Amino acid sequence: MVSRRDFLGLSAATLLGGGLTRSRRTAAGAQAAEVEALRKRLAADPQRPRYHLLPPAYWMNDPNGPIFSKGQCHMFYQYNPQGAFPESMHWGHAVSADLVHWKHLPIALAPTPGGPDKDGCWSGCAVIDGEVPTLIYTGVFPQVQCLARGDEGLLTWRKFASNPVVATPPQGMETTGFRDPCVWREGDEWYLAIGSGIAGQGGMVLLYRSRDLIHWDYLHLLCKGRKEELLPGKDPVSRGEMWECPDFFPLGEKHALLVSTQGTVIYSLGAYVNQYFRPERQGKVDLGDAYYAARSMGDEQGRRILWGWIREGRSDAAQRAAGWAGVMSLPRVLTIGRGGALSMTPAPELEALRGKDHQFHDLPVSQSLDPSPDGSLERHRSVFSRRGDSLEIQAEFDLGSSQAAGLTVRVAPHGEEQTSIIYDHAAAQLRVERDHSSLAPDVDRAPQGGPLALAEGETLKLHVFLDASVIEIFANDRSCLTSRIYPSRADSLGLGAFGLGGEARLKSLHIWELHPISPNRLTT
């Protein structure tokens, strides 16, 4: 058996085909067969995406401190090198020159026994302090803020000897949590936003200021939630009493604040005046519940790029058995769109993945609402010759007289498995319907979705990325919907389009087969 400790090194280095010292490599040699077996299993797992960033194995959650340095995008992420379950958080690390192809690097942060992060290095951010790459993150338990300095390649990290740099919430505050620092610079000063909240009152973001990233003064609340927004329930995060992973940045003429409250990332656009943020409009960064803990970075072209953690939609046991859990989202470019709402589009760099393309134009798509013999709605009448589970699809619908229209993906030859991406015109809702996505017993089937209002005469534009068990949808450049599906049949690869309750027209349909970013689903 490979011991947990060895796997820690193996998963991060040997699996990646590099990074171990010679002596460690020799010590690890005995376990090579087992590592190879895991490697093979992951490489052959049809649910494992081929062009999304994934850790070499095991568990990941939040993106942490995405940052550009010397023309490269460094991505850190919450990582458990001991298995596909959320424990003992480390910071995994990968680097990319183009936001698409990645190279895994050694683990950046690991808990220090006896230290303030002994039980985990939780989420945080990265900044470059002069020339010095610096990570600010939450150590647990209790939740405190810690700092580590890196070398110029961002490869090795030294924790500040007197961690934590912020040891407690402001005096007298009974908070629901105190975590996930977000740091930025204004003039000669650093500012630090920490996710928090107060039971019965709502989430809040605490604002601190420092000259050296070490000594922090608490200023006031950058922003707080409203009591009326609280939902019934027990968990402070799902109630909205605790705002996780605050992300605060300028966007166009405005400022944006993102906070994560269990399955939902909420954005606010507003004014930042005298170190107070006043939200003017709000919305969801994603209409599903698979996209979470989003973090953004500025790039060298002045763009704002957002990353999120795509959670699993299957049981804990299935995740452990698979040997991996969690996926990094594709990069989204954020801008302020027409009418002042948040606009989200896939980063153009993703076009590098495009292989063979297929186009269809001006097709009528209509469908009765009659159920098929197995009781499901046969929605894949217009079936295209292109099939696959690694596709980019751009579809533009003229909704015509239809009540709803959309695409079916991952359709089995007789529709035994299929997933619908549906725009319900009457309800002005975009949904992913998963009741027939999989014949497997232990996967999420609940529909996912939310509001998408189209203006009079506006066409429906769906931009969809299919990657094994991941679906990412960009609708009309302003709503996103990320979902997980786990078709069990190898032939659930069909693609169709439908209109319901009337006739819709598919003005254009563009399908690209996408290249994998590695030959073996191991990312690097």
Is 423 a binding residue for ligand FRU by CB under 6 A? The answer is no
| CA nearest to 91, candidates 102, 112, 101, 106 | 106
Residue 13 Cα to chain centre, angstroms: 24
Q: What is the per-residue binding string for ligand FRU in 129-148, x denoting contact by CB under 6 A?
A: ---------x----------
**Which of residues 125, 148, 230, 245 is near ligand FRU by CB under 6 A?**
245
Among the options 62, 247, 389, 467, which is catalytic? 62
Min separation Cβ 120 and ligand FRU, Å = 7
End-to-end alpha carbon distance in the chain: 25
Min separation Cβ 501 and ligand FRU, Å = 40
Min separation Cβ 178 and ligand FRU, Å = 10
Place of tokens 């604002």: 207
**Which of residues 6, 117, 241, 244 is near ligand FRU by CB under 6 A?**
244
| Residues 150/136, Cβ–Cβ less than 8 Å | no
Is 266 a binding residue for ligand FRU by CB under 6 A? The answer is no
Closest CB to ligand FRU among residues 180, 472: 180
**Dihedral-angle region of residue 85 (phi above 0 means left; psi in -120 to 50 means alpha; beta otherwise):** beta
22-29 vs 32-43: helix crossing angle, rounded to 10 = 90
| Residues 326/460, Cβ–Cβ less than 8 Å | no
The token pair at 415 is 């529709």
What gap in Å lies between CA 221 and CA 195, rounded to an integer?
10
Closest CB to ligand FRU among residues 134, 420: 134
**Dihedral-angle region of residue 35 (phi above 0 means left; psi in -120 to 50 means alpha; beta otherwise):** alpha
- Subset of 282-301 contacting ligand FRU (CB under 6 A): 292-293
Active site residue 62: yes
Min separation Cβ 309 and ligand FRU, Å = 7
Closest CB to ligand FRU among residues 124, 496: 124
Min separation Cβ 122 and ligand FRU, Å = 3
b/e map of 102-112 (b: 16 or more CB within 10 Å)?
bebbbbbbbbe
Closest CB to ligand FRU among residues 311, 387: 311
Min separation Cβ 89 and ligand FRU, Å = 5
Is 62 a binding residue for ligand FRU by CB under 6 A? The answer is yes
Closest CB to ligand FRU among residues 11, 123: 123
- Subset of 66-125 contacting ligand FRU (CB under 6 A): 78, 89, 122-123
Is 243 a binding residue for ligand FRU by CB under 6 A? The answer is no
Closest CB to ligand FRU among residues 9, 197: 197
Min separation Cβ 93 and ligand FRU, Å = 15
DSSP string, 176-222: S-EEEEEEEEETTEEEEEEEEEETTTEEEEEEEEESSSSS-EEEEEE
- Subset of 166-195 contacting ligand FRU (CB under 6 A): 179-180
How many C-beta atoms lie closer than 10 Å to residue 446's C-beta? 12
DSSP string, 62-115: EEEEEEEETTEEEEEEEEETT-SSS-S-EEEEEEESSSSS-EEEEEEE-PPTTS
Q: Kindly determine how many residues on this chain lie close enough to bind ligand FRU according to the rule CB under 6 A.
A: 13
Which 3-state string (H, E, C) describes 16-50? CCCCCCHHHHHHHHCCHHHHHHHHHHHHCCCCCCC
Min separation Cβ 228 and ligand FRU, Å = 24
Place of tokens 């390649």: 153
Q: What is the per-residue binding string for ligand FRU in 349-388, x denoting contact by CB under 6 A?
A: ----------------------------------------
**What is the contact surface with ligand FRU in residues (CB under 6 A)?**
61-62, 78, 89, 122-123, 138, 179-180, 244-245, 292-293
Tell me the catalytic residues.
Answer: 62
